[in-house]
């Protein structure tokens, strides 16, 4: 269909929108011919009937990619005006100028079809409401998107192929620079190099990024940072910078590409996701000089991973300031997980507890184990002091001698490699010396081979020296004597109260691998299974501290003594006897109170709590009678029983204060109103009268 037939009067009444875009600012500056072609579409609109003032140019998306409409304000404005019915025609040099994304292109076509808006490109005018035109425009959009994919694939493939060879130049971290030949070398600034070397040495010593930051702050050191203009400045070290340096493989001399994956979200924001080492497109160890070895870099990553994990991971964390000696090394003997450490301030000091509560936290199960730290830590401290003996040092020396013999054998093999490289270099030298100097084509080739053999020889020598420095630990007699003498100093150092807890844990880390704890509540003990670095296992047994209820509990010996005294004494008498012998109640003994004393009420509580036979039951078993039973047996009144007991005619035994049981004579029972009774009463009255008179005479004597 003719383009003029598609343009209707109602189209010309609305505005004509000319969309102009180029993908990058470099294209905007250099590809001026494309810009002229796009602006020339104004003439096509005028030829179709639009006035010049009706043509609206949308060119504020210059230098923006057409892969998405999220960040293109001009395209969003165009779609909005088309949807509001303001546009009669939308013009673009080609589909790729409007959109490289098929989703954005189809959305524009749908809105144009609903708003009855035409589309014009270099090939003609299209009506999105018509099936044939809609089909053709859809194919053009698909081809434009495929073209972008092909372009990206070509560029991406070239970059990856170059990166796999380690030749793609990437921005280098602080401390590494490119030389004039394009090779990666250490920064020529001595201060930068020494600071980075000190950083890695500090991390190897403290084992934590945050502790490294604290060490730099304590020492007053600054860390180098490179700005975008390649200028290096020194700033205070931060935790994020420390972690970034430790994670960067370039410091280990490794070429790495594709460590992160970038993608855009629906709102146009860029997201970053870190990849694992196996997913990196390129990783070439020992590609250039570094500050640490690749093995040390891997070890640093393991330490960071262990430090960054929560208590769910079975791990041995770095030493910290708390008094828990087995922090990060105590393993639960029931579930196999590492204990968490909890601290509590008790009796003016900080005490540690090893707690395994994963099941309680996640599933609501009871606590697996909760073990007091001081008894276990004291046992481990004594064990460490015992293990550091001169015999242990002698054994370590024997092991070192064996390892030294193995390293000497490996060094002999490396010497053979150096000799072979020396022979090949001498051979290449002789070949070069025999060639005619005027024959430069052959001489240059032989000179290159000679230089290559010399580099191989130098590399073999450097590797041998590096290996020898790594394996060099020959101990002379003076060093051996110092090691033997160090055992005494070690015990002093371990017992010194001024030694920080962090240092004790570091010393422990060189000797013990882990410690498995099993609590035995029935026995009141804890089994401590110690696994040393060399594989040796030793088991200790420690007494578990008593609980608060157990600490205030009365001693079993006191309970046994009360049980014996109940045969002949009442509660108040027993309390007095216990106090005279220096016994104290359980709670007072735990708190060190010497003023607390036993009372009749405390003794009664012990009898009831420990279910001892009462004095009443004991007297009844011995045949004692109550007042009613004694009165019935003697055929007298109960008051008479009381008077007879008072005057000694029958025996009375107290069992609860003033309550008594009575013991009758086996023979010659007293009779009521007999001569014997009268004589006894008279004698008792006479004794009372004599006692009263003696008391009065004493009072008169004191008064005079």
Query: Which of 9-13, 29-33, 350-354, 360-364 has the highest average model confidence (pLDDT)?
Result: 9-13
Q: Taking residues 583-612, what's their average pLDDT?
A: 75
What is the residue-averaged pLDDT of the chain?
Answer: 78
Render pLDDT for 491-501 as a digit per residue (tens, 0 to 9): 666 666 666 77
Torsion, Cα of 497, 502, 506, 509 (10° steps): 100
The pLDDT of residue 556: 80
The pLDDT of residue 246: 92
Catalytic residue (one of 23, 144, 208, 317): 23
**From the CB of residue 363, how many other CB atoms can be counted at a distance below 10 Å?**
7
pLDDT category of residue 476 using cuts at 50, 70 and 90: very low
Domain boundaries, the chain: 3-161, 176-308, 330-545, 554-612
Render pLDDT for 269-313 as a digit per residue (tens, 0 to 9): 777 777 877 778 888 888 889 999 999 999 898 888 877 655 444
Q: Taking residues 58-63, what's their average pLDDT?
A: 83
Q: Is 200 in contact with 242 (CB distance < 8 Å)? A: no
Pairwise CA distance, residues 662 & 643, whole Å:
12
The pLDDT of residue 241: 92
> Would you say residue 544 has pLDDT above 80?
no
CATH topology of 3-161 equal to that of 176-308? no
The pLDDT of residue 695: 56
pLDDT category of residue 330 using cuts at 50, 70 and 90: confident
Which of 48-57, 108-117, 323-332 is predicted with the least confidence, judged by mean pLDDT?
323-332
Token representation of residue 413: 């093999």
Which of 52-66, 80-94, 447-461, 491-505 is predicted with the least confidence, judged by mean pLDDT?
491-505
Give, in order, the Cα–Cα distances in Å from 489 to each of 203, 390, 476, 492. Answer: 27, 12, 20, 5
Dihedral (CA of 266, 271, 276, 282) sign: positive
Q: Taking residues 636-656, what's their average pLDDT?
A: 82
Pairwise CA distance, residues 645 & 658, whole Å:
13
Q: Taking residues 646-670, what's their average pLDDT?
A: 78
Q: Which helix (H) or strand (E) holds 255?
A: strand 255-257
Render pLDDT for 215-238 as a digit per residue (tens, 0 to 9): 888 777 888 888 877 788 888 899
CA nearest 245: which of 173, 192, 184?
173
DSSP 287-302: SS--SS-HHHHHHHHH
Pairwise CA distance, residues 48 & 55, whole Å:
12
Q: What is the CATH number of domain 176-308?
A: 3.90.1750
pLDDT category of residue 390 using cuts at 50, 70 and 90: low
Percent with pLDDT over 90 in the chain? 2
Q: Is 678 in contact with 649 (CB distance < 8 Å)? A: no
**From the CB of residue 472, how many other CB atoms can be counted at a distance below 10 Å?**
10
**Residue 548 annotated as catalytic:** no
pLDDT category of residue 251 using cuts at 50, 70 and 90: very high
Q: Is 487 in contact with 393 (CB distance < 8 Å)? A: yes
Q: Look up the pTM and report it.
A: 0.48
The pLDDT of residue 704: 38
pLDDT category of residue 242 using cuts at 50, 70 and 90: very high
Query: Which of 239-243, 343-347, 445-449 has the highest average model confidence (pLDDT)?
Result: 239-243
Which of 121-125, 435-439, 444-448, 559-563 is predicted with the least confidence, judged by mean pLDDT?
435-439
The pLDDT of residue 25: 80
Token representation of residue 313: 């991971």
Dihedral (CA of 444, 446, 447, 453) sign: positive
Render pLDDT for 406-449 as a digit per residue (tens, 0 to 9): 566 556 656 766 776 788 888 888 887 887 777 776 777 778 88
CA nearest 13: which of 118, 105, 110, 114?
118
Q: What is the CATH number of domain 3-161?
A: 3.40.50.1390
Maximum CA extent, the chain: 165
The pLDDT of residue 591: 53
The pLDDT of residue 699: 45
């Amino acid at each position: 269909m003719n383009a003029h037939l598609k343009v209707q009067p109602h189209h010309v009444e609305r505005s004509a929108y000319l969309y102009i875009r180029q993908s990058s600012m470099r294209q905007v500056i250099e590809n001026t011919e494309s810009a002229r072609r796009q602006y020339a579409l104004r003439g096509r609109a005028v030829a179709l009937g639009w006035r010049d003032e009706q043509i609206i140019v949308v060119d504020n998306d210059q230098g923006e990619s057409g892969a998405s409409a999220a960040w293109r304000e001009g395209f969003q404005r165009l779609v909005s005006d088309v949807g509001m019915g303001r546009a009669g025609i939308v013009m673009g040099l080609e589909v790729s100028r409007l959109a490289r994304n098929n989703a954005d292109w189809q959305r524009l076509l749908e809105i144009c079809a609903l708003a009855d808006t035409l589309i014009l490109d270099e090939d003609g005018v299209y009506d999105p409401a018509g099936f044939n035109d809609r089909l053709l425009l859809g194919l053009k959009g698909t081809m434009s998107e495929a073209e972008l994919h092909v372009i990206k694939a070509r560029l991406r493939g070239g970059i990856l192929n170059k990166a796999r060879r380690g030749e793609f130049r990437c921005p280098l971290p602080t401390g590494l620079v490119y030389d004039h030949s394009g090779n990666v070398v250490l920064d020529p600034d001595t201060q930068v190099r020494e600071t980075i070397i000190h950083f890695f040495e500090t991390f190897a010593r403290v084992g934590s990024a945050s502790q490294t930051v604290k060490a730099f702050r304590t020492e007053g050191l600054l860390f180098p940072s490179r700005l975008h203009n390649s200028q290096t400045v020194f700033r205070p070290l931060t935790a994020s910078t420390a972690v970034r340096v430790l994670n960067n493989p370039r410091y280990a001399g490794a070429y790495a590409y594709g460590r992160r994956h970038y993608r855009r979200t629906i709102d146009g924001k860029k997201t970053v996701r870190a990849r694992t080492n196996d997913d990196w497109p390129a990783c070439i160890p020992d590609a250039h000089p570094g500050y640490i070895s690749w093995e040390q870099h891997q070890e640093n990553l393991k330490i960071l991973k262990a430090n960054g994990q929560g208590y769910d991971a079975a791990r041995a964390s770095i030493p910290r300031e708390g008094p828990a000696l087995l922090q990060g090394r105590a393993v639960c003997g029931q579930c196999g997980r590492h204990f968490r450490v909890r601290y509590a301030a008790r009796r003016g000091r900080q005490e540690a507890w090893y707690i395994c509560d994963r099941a309680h936290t996640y599933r609501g199960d009871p606590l697996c184990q909760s073990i007091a730290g001081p008894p276990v830590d004291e046992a481990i401290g004594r064990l460490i002091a015992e293990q550091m003996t001169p015999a242990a040092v002698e054994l370590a020396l024997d092991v070192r001698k064996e390892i030294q013999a193995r390293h000497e054998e490996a060094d002999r093999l490396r010497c053979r490699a150096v000799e072979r490289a020396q022979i090949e270099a001498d051979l290449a030298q002789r070949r070069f010396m025999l060639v005619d100097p005027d024959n430069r084509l052959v001489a240059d080739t032989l000179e290159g081979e000679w230089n290559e053999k010399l580099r191989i020889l130098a590399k073999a020598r450097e590797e041998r020296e590096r290996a020898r420095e790594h394996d060099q630990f020959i101990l002379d007699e003076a060093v051996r004597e110092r090691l033997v003498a160090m055992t005494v100093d070690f015990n002093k150092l371990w017992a010194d109260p001024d030694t920080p807890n962090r240092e004790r844990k570091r010393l422990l880390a060189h000797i013990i691998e882990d410690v498995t704890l099993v609590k035995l509540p029935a026995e009141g003990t804890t089994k401590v299974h110690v696994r040393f670095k060399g594989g040796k296992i030793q088991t200790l047994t420690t007494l578990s501290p008593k609980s608060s209820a157990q600490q205030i509990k009365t001693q079993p010996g006191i309970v046994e003594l009360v049980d014996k005294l109940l045969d002949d004494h009442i509660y108040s008498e027993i309390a007095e006897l216990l106090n005279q012998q220096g016994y104290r109640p359980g709670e007072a003994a735990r708190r060190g109170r010497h003023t607390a004393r036993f009372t009749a009420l405390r003794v009664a509580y012990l009898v009831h709590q420990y279910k001892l036979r009462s004095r009443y039951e004991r007297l009844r078993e011995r045949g004692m009678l109550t007042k009613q039973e004694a009165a019935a047996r003697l055929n007298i009144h109960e008051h008479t029983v009381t008077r007879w007991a008072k005057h000694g005619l029958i025996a009375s035994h107290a069992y609860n204060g003033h309550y008594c049981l009575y013991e009758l004579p086996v023979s010659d029972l007293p009779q009521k109103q007999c001569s014997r009774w009268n004589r006894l009463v008279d004698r008792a009255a006479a004794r009372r009268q004599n006692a009263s008179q003696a008391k009065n005479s004493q009072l008169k004597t004191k008064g005079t």
